Structures are given as structure tokens and as C-alpha cells.
Amino acid sequence: MDYKKSNAPDSTITWDTQDLASGTNNIYESVLVIAKRANQISVEMKEELNKKLQEFASYTDNLEEVFENREQIEISRFYERLPKSSSISTQEYIDGNIYHRVNDAKKEE
């Protein structure tokens, strides 16, 4: 997914709990769905960042030299400015872009 084009807020906002509970009729289940999606997003973003920063990796054992690469700093700043994974997942949930299902194994017993 392209998180750069996300319409999630960059800063903290207050979400209407009625909107959050509308998909599952239970606010706690909704928060669980949002939290699981936030974990998925943060793992994807971390893998993407690590791939980009791997290009700049130096495998020398010289501790005296510190390399400051302008491109590496810009990439890191870009990822720091992105909305947090919890904001992105909450916005996806509100927009109806998250699919979730309930496993009813307990009802069958």
C-alpha cells in the first residue's frame, strides 16, 4: 500500500466512538481490528525503510569514521513525517477499507 497518499491525520485527533463501533457494534472489537491492522502497517513500513537504508550500509569495522549521508537523512525524515500506523489503520477502518471476520468457534461448541 502507498502510505504516502493516505488521508490519515498527521497529528492526534479525537475519533467519534460511534463511528468506530459501527462496523462491529462493539468498540472493543473495533479497537482490536484497528490495532491488528496498525501492527501490519508498522511492519510493512519498517521493512520498506530497512530496504531503503540497506543501500547506505557500510560494513567496515572502523569506528572512528562516521558517515553522514544526506540522502539517508532525507529518507529517515520522510518516514518520520508520515502519519503513525494507528492513525492510518483507524482512517482505513472509518473509510471501510479493512476486511475483518469473526471466528465463531465458541458458538459451535
8 in a domain, yes or no?
no
93 in a domain, yes or no?
yes
pLDDT tens-digit readout, 46-57? 998 888 888 776
9 in a domain, yes or no?
no
53 in a domain, yes or no?
yes
Task: Tell me which residue range forms the domain holding 81.
Answer: 15-98
Q: What is the CA radius of gyration of the chain?
A: 19
5 in a domain, yes or no?
no
Between the alpha carbon of residue 4 and those of residues 23, 43, 81, 99, 100, the distances in Å are 26, 16, 10, 21, 24
Query: Cell numbers of 55, please?
Result: 543501500
Specify the pTM: 0.76
109 in a domain, yes or no?
no
pLDDT at 68: 67
107 in a domain, yes or no?
no
104 in a domain, yes or no?
no
What domain count does the chain have?
Answer: 1
pLDDT tens-digit readout, 3-61? 667 777 777 788 888 888 887 888 999 999 999 999 999 999 999 888 888 877 666 65
